[in-house]
Structure 1
Amino acid sequence: MGKKLVKLPATEVDMTAAKYTPQRVQAPHLTGFWLKLFVMLIETPIIGSMILILLKKKNRITEMLKNTVIPEAPMFIPEFPPKESEPDVFSLEEDGKPEERVELALQCLPDYNPGCIWITDPTAPFRYWKIRDYAYAYKSKLTTPSQVAENFISAIEESNKKNPLAPLLISYDPDEVRRQADASTQRFKKGSELSILDGIFIAVKDDIDCYPYPSKGGTTWFHKLREVKKDAVCVSRLRCCAVHNRTTTNPHAPDRYTGGSSSGSAAIVASGLCSAALGTDGGGSVRIPSSLCGVVGLKTTYGRTNMKGLLYHSGTVAIVGPITATIEDAILVYAAILGSSPAERVSLKPPLPCLPNLSSCGSWCSTGSLRLGKYTEWFNDVFSTEISDKCEDILNQLSEKHGCNTIEIVLPELHEMFIAHVVSIGSEALSQLNPDLEDGRRLMHFYVEIFKKVDIIVTPTTAMTAPIISPAALTVGETNMRVSGSLMRFVLAGNLLGFPAISVPVGYDKQGLPIGMQLIGRPWCEASILRLAAAIEETCAGPKKKPVQFYDILKGNPIQYSPAGRLSYCIKKMGNKRVMLPASEVDLTAVKYIPENIQAPHLTGFWFKFFLNLAEVPGIGSLIMNHLKNDNKFDEKLKYTVIPECPMFKPEFPPQEPEPAVVSIEEDAKPEDRVELALKCLPEYDPASNWNGDTTASFRYWKIRDYAYAYRSKFTTPSMVAERFISAIEEFNNKNPTAPLLISFDPDEVRKQAAASTQRFEQGNPLSILDGIFMAIKDDIDCYSHPSKGATAWMHEVREVKKDAVSVSRLRSCGAILVGKANMHELGLGTTGNNANYGTTRNPHDPDRYTGGSSSGPAAIVASGLCSAALGTDGGGSIRIPSSLCGVVGLKSTYGRTDMTGSLCDDGTVAIIGPIATTVEDTILVYAAILGSSPADRISLRPSLPCVPNFSSQESLQSVESLRLGKYTEWFNDVFSTDISDKCGNVLSRLLEKHGCKTVEIVIPELHEMRLAHVVSIGSEALCALNPDCYDGRRLMYFHMEIFKRVDIIVTPTTGMTAPIIPPGALKVGETNLQVTGNLMRFIITANLLGLPAVTVPVGYDKQGLPIGIQLIGRPWCEASILRLAAAIEETCAEPKKKPLQYYDILKGN
């Protein structure tokens, strides 16, 4: 209707046709200084308006607010259909006394058996004390509420002394706690306790009135405007102790958030200081922190609890709900606080509240009758597959142990609900949203239809586990809509439509962070979700882990378990200086691996341009750079660190032992002779199965020997293949948006080379096995007559290419067809492959994702089947990263093994030229052609003779079996998704099983210093500019040579994440995202800093079908060993290859 989007009436929507589209909020992540600067700009009249307009446009807010016509009338408060009865429940009278309701709830619980809970058994699994444990201890006179109060007060005072400040309670009076505890103690002495909750310590969120404490809402000013004269209704029903809020840290990992906004409520329960707490939930604010802290959080049906006495009691989405350590405690507290307000009894007509009867023998039978709804695409849209896997495992156990059926459902219009809630108004103020957008009536229709098929909708609670707290966020704050979106992905329906929902802990990720599962029920059906949650807790979830910060206030020994911080195993102080111990004195057994995150904003498009303009303003630019350095402790590493070893300006390698089962190659021999020798080392070639047209065979790339066989057998010619190649490149170049593989390409030149090769084959005298093989050259390596631009728009104007680079001339002498200059990340200064000058090369396995960089074009053109091999450069992972992300093989040889003359980085101290190919054997052939040190490197480095593994010898297999593999487990597992570490771990297991390769646990010191210096100071390719006092290469070389006395090869994943998504705003201008850079380069830096050889070989795929690579790092000059192991992995351990989405068969022509 003109520019308006008119939605179909909800009754006419085909719900089965709804498509799930993962949505990511487009907004900058800002902390500290950046947030203050952003807020200042927002408050500037014109600039602020422009920024907000841009944000709304980027996230389609204007489109959804102003340009959408919804046929249904607005639904200002939830309008629920009549409730269906729930089986095997107890009904409660809302008008009954709270203590009577609690008593009835107590009768619903299974029998209590104190058993041996008071016997100290260090081998018993950890469990939280339940409310009934406290009641038993009080009644049995094992302790008193007053004794527990002293333990509590002592623990709170200890917690409040921490630096940085991370209080659990922000309004707290120890005398008031003692007064209440003494009164409870007297009641127990007289045998007249009020209920099972008597003497139970419960915290109250700072937006709920709890007299005489002020309600500040976590602000510094709210209490000045609003006086608290009495308890909120829910608090009066409990009448217990204290209040909370501020940047509370997660008890499971103090450097991570608890989630919000009921952060203190969840943390104080998870830390053992309170059995329960009250929170408010207007956008997941009970469920999110409960999930992240590993406790239970219940959001009841809208109107089930009385909101009077809250800061926003007039809202239409928020509720008061309990946070507890267990389901049974949630039931007891819920029973105490439930009861609608008089107004809501009239407007909502709530049925009688019910509780599940868990004491009956038919309780689990009722669980088995529950039908569970799962929207798989939504369910799996998580930050780490550990979350979806853990929740999926729970569904399988529920089916196996209780007979619960899971039904596939579809939920329409999640995108509108998600974007509207997260971007426009945040998590707690949805009542301010334009009612024409808050299309509650149509959403209610969709969900009512779904609830005709299922009883409970099941999702993860959050799409990520607890995020890290940025240090800069502690003093000023933070805005990170991407994290907000991940945390709130599954919680909105419970608030928008007022449904009951509960989060129950189900396990932990590999970092030990809790994972929660959410159950969303029909209106007023709290009993059903509580019953299922109890079944999950009792029979499906794994054992609980004791939080790092845990206090046992019941037994009287408040204990603070601090995580192992950065030990001073290698550092002492000298004034303001950090003085490193000599490398030979460092105790490697005391080294602790600490994951590090780069502190820098992620900016694309407009924000990136704006940042660049600011950085170029003289005063502001230096201020920004100083702030970045300070945030990342850059000055501490550069200026204030004393390294006792002399700087090592280029690698200095100790002598190496000879490798077994290899063939040595003369560097001075002709390239074609070296290739011929390498060819003799390969297993025998059998063409039989490659040309029989078997369409059922699994996908495989054509190898160089396949092309040579086809040419010699006259199945095709290099000229015929050239025409197919040219046609494919032209087709590729016409795509929109532009995503060129080659940025310098001359089809006539390709035809000329192909014709010459065809003639040589017709005459029976090809130059080598590489004759007629199509290869691309990265745009920072000279390949005459193409210019070398480094993917810039200007480099070719200041630097003329007069001849081939040495490595290129060696390929040309072997007859290789050099197709042109492959795209790359501009100047090699990046890890994604983004290039705003010529267009960003897309990943052949998923065109919406990066190839990795900086050798983006070489990796993509090989993975897409258009070239058998390509040359790239690697100064910071620029061969290995894109090879891993594109599912091909990439070799970084020892520094100095190849001659860098004729490349843009020929005077560096970390970069090499290396091959990218589809298979290990093709990598060996190309490597044999290009190897050979420069005259200068032969003098300074004294390289040993290059070798290739001899696969044709009898001792080849024994050589694999004798290899000792080094694995630094904590580093190995520090990945964005456990798909990566799991796949690489499986390869190690198969190597042991099939080849007898043993894995040895190792420790590598000072990874943090090395990683931070490399990523933050100069990016991925220019480490030669680094201050040598920080580039502590000599000590790092010492550490690695000590490791190589115990192992032959160090094994890691190649990257810490699979191919990242390309933000749309990054295509035209570019982006800066050092968090992604850090993930991609996590395992890369050692080989460049120390010049060690390394190879990446594909081993499988993640759940999204994206390639995963494993990296093998060898001793200096020992390329043969890593290539031998890579071949064994490729042949016997890796998963079958999948055909990329963008693939061209230029050999067969189909």
Structure 2
Amino acid sequence: MSSKNDQEDQEITHRHSAPYVSGFPLKILIFFLERVPGLSSYFYWNAGMKSLRYRNFNEEMTVMPLPLPKEVFGVEDPKTINGLEIFNQRNKTLNQAPENQRFLCARDYTEAYTSKKFTPLQVCEKLIDKINHSCSEACDPPLHGMYQYNKDDILAQAEASTSRYNNGQSLGPLDGVPVAVKDEIDVTGYETRVGTSFFNRGNPASNDAFLVKKLRDQGAIIIGKTNMHEIGFDITTNNPNTHTSRNPYNINHYCGGSSGGSACVVASGLCPIAIGCDGGGSIRIPSSFCGIYGLKTTCGRISSKGKFALSSSVGVAGPMTACVDDLALAYYVMSGKDPEDPKTFHQPSPTLHDLYLTDDLSDLKIGIFSAWNKQVTDPAITPALDNFINEFKLRGAEFIEIEIPELEDARVAHLITIGSEHCAVIDGYKKHSHLLNLPNRANIATLSNVNYSDYIKSQQVRTRIMRNISVVFSGVDLILTPTCAINAPQIYPRALKYGEINTLVTADGTRFAQLANFTGIPAVTVPAGYNDKNLPIGLQFMAKWYDEATLLRVAKVSEEIFESERRRPAEKYWLGNLL
């Protein structure tokens, strides 16, 4: 293992530069990129994506990052109980934020209903007005977090929930709680458009995704579909098809992506829980940019049935929430085995053990790869990270310097893998591909240069990287990094009509996120501060396969550390006055 000084002198992952392009020049670029032989190949080479092609790897391929049995052994905890009982036994959610800065959580809703202060129907009537406002010019500019919603459907669900409360038949801690779902997941009656102008047009889903059904079984009110970056293929949710979602903390900045709408609706207070999907950071990046909690689950932990198959081997669904209790609650409800999704068969039972054991962390060893963590561009990120390290040390956690080998190979292999999986989907809609936003047409043209050698060697690299991660976790329980190397990027007005290509922003935003997707391990992002533009800062913890319980525990610790400093968006963009 190299010394710390040696690490600080090396570039852990490369920043491949390319010009920023938007507006009419972007149209010109696409014209030539799709027609001039060799031009797309140059962009492919410039991104470093040929770096694996002519190398030899001895490993077998891993096409789905499910852990070996030895990695799962011991994760099943003898203290496993029905996780919902934890919430039933908990008297209240710890919340140290000033009253005028508090975010509403699921418990606030259910307590208002059981006390007869409000009914789900009354809340949803107010909520519909708030959604309409958030998507209208009256919001100036609109937030555009919600994309599809149906007033009659919301009210019908609210009436059913109200009836249950009136009859003393509440279904549990989610009954009557508004939940939004990313436009990548099937919800009965809604078209799963995946941020495009043509996917499933005129073909609404006839069934809920498995995870949506599990939420409904607990009484959650599904309020509609959230906006997303078209086909989930970047990190801003700049989407000329569906409008660009804006960051409630600074409306001249992006909310992140590709699950940007989900982050926007939670951060602005429209609902306490939203569901996102994450193939390269798409839950964690917008959660970080919008100052909320986001959990990227283990590959195979939550069923993919009813989730659009954009990035089958790297993409998962997970919760995005205003508080950690809701993160744990939504995760627990959605997790578990699905008879129609073989990836879920071999997981240990989901557990929430030790969620509230936050005072003494002497049993935790947390890995820090200092040279990697220093690869940030916003100077406010490192002090926030250092502060959390000190706070965790005060509670007894041990920090250990680690090294994660071959991260640049992992970056390239992940990009080839997710790009191949996205392009395979688009190939099925070839006659409509000209309707894609211009940046995605550039992505498809560039990724057409992936060949069989690139893909196969990427899966061999995955085997190697998973082995490297397994070795790291033999010595630590968690890995701590910034969530992103940047904070929310600025929105340039010229980019709103046609989109934009900003490869440095994409690379910096995904730098710390891709590893968890490529290897299948879980990761959580927690809010940890703000920069001088009032933009939130997020930190990320990664854990071994299926150990979401430990991630939720340290997220709870993080909430206790930061909650007194946490603040809501400005009043104009705070829409959470629902109770």
User: What TM-score comes out, normalization by structure 1 length?
Assistant: 0.45
Query: Does structure 2 conserve the Cα–Cα contact (< 8 Å) formed by 1:718 and 1:754?
Result: yes
Tell me if 1:891 matches 2:295: yes
Report the Cα offset of residue 1145 of structure 1. Answer: 2.6
Among 521, 524, 531, the residue aligned to 1:1092: 521
Query: Does structure 1 conserve the Cα–Cα contact (< 8 Å) formed by 2:281 and 2:510?
Result: yes
Secondary structure at 1:1068 match in 2: coil
Change (3 A) 1:947 1:653: same
The residue aligned with 2:67 is 653
Q: Distance in 2 between matches of 1:929 and 1:941?
A: 17
Gaps of 5+ in 2: 425-449
Q: Which amino acid aligns with 1:1144?
A: L
Secondary structure at 1:1139 match in 2: coil
Q: Distance in 1 between matches of 2:250 and 2:19?
A: 26
Change (3 A) 1:1106 1:958: closer
Q: Distance in 1 between matches of 2:230 and 2:576?
A: 29
Among 8, 16, 19, the residue aligned to 1:601: 19
Report the Cα offset of residue 1016 of structure 1. Answer: 7.1
Secondary structure at 2:352 match in 1: strand
Q: Distance in 2 between matches of 1:1036 and 1:821?
A: 35
Query: Does structure 1 conserve the Cα–Cα contact (< 8 Å) formed by 2:417 and 2:455?
Result: no
Report the Cα offset of residue 599 of structure 1. Answer: 2.8
Query: Does structure 1 conserve the Cα–Cα contact (< 8 Å) formed by 2:103 and 2:322?
Result: yes
Q: Distance in 1 between matches of 2:211 and 2:344?
A: 20
Q: Distance in 2 between matches of 1:939 and 1:838?
A: 32
Q: Distance in 1 between matches of 2:542 and 2:93?
A: 31
Query: Does structure 2 conserve the Cα–Cα contact (< 8 Å) formed by 1:721 and 1:1146?
Result: no
Secondary structure at 1:1123 match in 2: helix
Matches within 5 A, 1:397-796: 592-617=10-35, 620=36, 622-637=37-52, 639-654=53-68, 655=70, 656=72, 658=74, 663-664=79-80, 676-680=84-88, 683-685=90-92, 697=99, 699-735=101-137, 738-796=142-200
Q: Distance in 1 between matches of 2:115 and 2:344?
A: 47
Query: Does structure 2 conserve the Cα–Cα contact (< 8 Å) formed by 1:889 and 1:918?
Result: yes
The residue aligned with 1:949 is 353
The residue aligned with 1:1014 is 414
Query: Does structure 2 conserve the Cα–Cα contact (< 8 Å) formed by 1:875 and 1:911?
Result: yes
Q: Which amino acid aligns with 1:1120?
A: A
Change (3 A) 1:938 1:1078: same
Corresponding residue pairs, total:
540
Q: Distance in 2 between matches of 1:1023 and 1:975?
A: 30
- Structure with higher Rg: it is 1
Change (3 A) 1:1002 1:1022: farther
Change (3 A) 1:906 1:1067: closer
The residue aligned with 1:42 is none
Matches within 5 A, 1:126-165: none
Report the Cα offset of residue 635 of structure 1. Answer: 2.0
The residue aligned with 1:300 is none
Matches within 5 A, 1:896-915: 896-905=300-309, 908-915=312-319
Change (3 A) 1:733 1:839: same
Tell me if 1:970 matches 2:401: no
1:742-798, CA deviations, whole angstroms, 9 ceiling, x for partnerless residues?
221111111111111111111111111101100101001000111110011100138
Report the Cα offset of residue 1139 of structure 1. Answer: 1.5
Tell me if 1:1061 matches 2:490: yes
Change (3 A) 1:712 1:986: same
Report the Cα offset of residue 933 of structure 1. Answer: 3.2
Change (3 A) 1:1022 1:962: farther
Report the Cα offset of residue 1090 of structure 1. Answer: 0.5
Report the Cα offset of residue 938 of structure 1. Answer: 4.9
Tell me if 1:1144 matches 2:572: no
Q: Distance in 2 between matches of 1:1017 and 1:911?
A: 11
The residue aligned with 1:998 is 398
Change (3 A) 1:662 1:783: farther
Change (3 A) 1:828 1:663: farther
Q: Which amino acid aligns with 1:685?
A: K
The residue aligned with 1:478 is none
Matches within 5 A, 1:1086-1125: 1086-1125=515-554
Report the Cα offset of residue 997 of structure 1. Answer: 0.5
Change (3 A) 1:999 1:660: farther
Q: Distance in 1 between matches of 2:497 and 2:516?
A: 33
Q: Which amino acid aligns with 2:38?
A: L
Secondary structure at 2:497 match in 1: helix
Identity percentage over the alignment? 34
Among 1001, 1025, 1030, the residue aligned to 2:458: 1030
Query: Does structure 2 conserve the Cα–Cα contact (< 8 Å) formed by 1:828 and 1:1021?
Result: no
Matches within 5 A, 1:828-867: 828-867=232-271
Report the Cα offset of residue 1072 of structure 1. Answer: 1.1
Report the Cα offset of residue 685 of structure 1. Answer: 1.4
Gaps of 5+ in 1: 1-586, 666-673
Q: Distance in 1 between matches of 2:514 and 2:14?
A: 14
Report the Cα offset of residue 644 of structure 1. Answer: 1.4
Q: Which amino acid aligns with 2:488?
A: A
The residue aligned with 1:919 is 323
Change (3 A) 1:595 1:1004: same
Change (3 A) 1:798 1:1042: farther
Query: Does structure 1 conserve the Cα–Cα contact (< 8 Å) formed by 2:337 and 2:345?
Result: no
Query: Does structure 2 conserve the Cα–Cα contact (< 8 Å) formed by 1:662 and 1:950?
Result: no
Secondary structure at 1:1069 match in 2: coil
The residue aligned with 2:557 is 1128
Q: Which amino acid aligns with 2:91?
A: E
Matches within 5 A, 1:256-271: none
Q: Distance in 2 between matches of 1:1016 and 1:1062?
A: 28
Query: Does structure 2 conserve the Cα–Cα contact (< 8 Å) formed by 1:875 and 1:1021?
Result: no
Secondary structure at 2:455 match in 1: coil
Change (3 A) 1:737 1:1084: same
Report the Cα offset of residue 959 of structure 1. Answer: 6.5
Change (3 A) 1:696 1:927: closer
Query: Does structure 1 conserve the Cα–Cα contact (< 8 Å) formed by 2:281 and 2:514?
Result: yes
Secondary structure at 1:950 match in 2: coil
Report the Cα offset of residue 630 of structure 1. Answer: 2.5
Q: Which amino acid aligns with 2:291?
A: G
- Coordinate RMSD, CA, aligned: 2.5
Query: Does structure 2 conserve the Cα–Cα contact (< 8 Å) formed by 1:911 and 1:1021?
Result: no
The residue aligned with 2:440 is none
Change (3 A) 1:675 1:724: farther
Query: Does structure 2 conserve the Cα–Cα contact (< 8 Å) formed by 1:739 and 1:841?
Result: yes
Q: Distance in 2 between matches of 1:945 and 1:1048?
A: 19
Report the Cα offset of residue 697 of structure 1. Answer: 4.0
Change (3 A) 1:822 1:874: same
Report the Cα offset of residue 678 of structure 1. Answer: 4.2
Q: Distance in 2 between matches of 1:738 and 1:595?
A: 37
1:346-367, CA deviations, whole angstroms, 9 ceiling, x for partnerless residues?
xxxxxxxxxxxxxxxxxxxxxx
Report the Cα offset of residue 598 of structure 1. Answer: 2.0
Among 1027, 1043, 1066, the residue aligned to 2:472: 1043
Report the Cα offset of residue 910 of structure 1. Answer: 1.2
Q: Distance in 1 between matches of 2:370 and 2:532?
A: 22
Flag the structure with more relative contact order, 1 or 2, with Cα contacts below 8 A and sequence separation at least 6: 2
The residue aligned with 1:870 is 274
Query: Does structure 2 conserve the Cα–Cα contact (< 8 Å) formed by 1:1099 and 1:1134?
Result: no
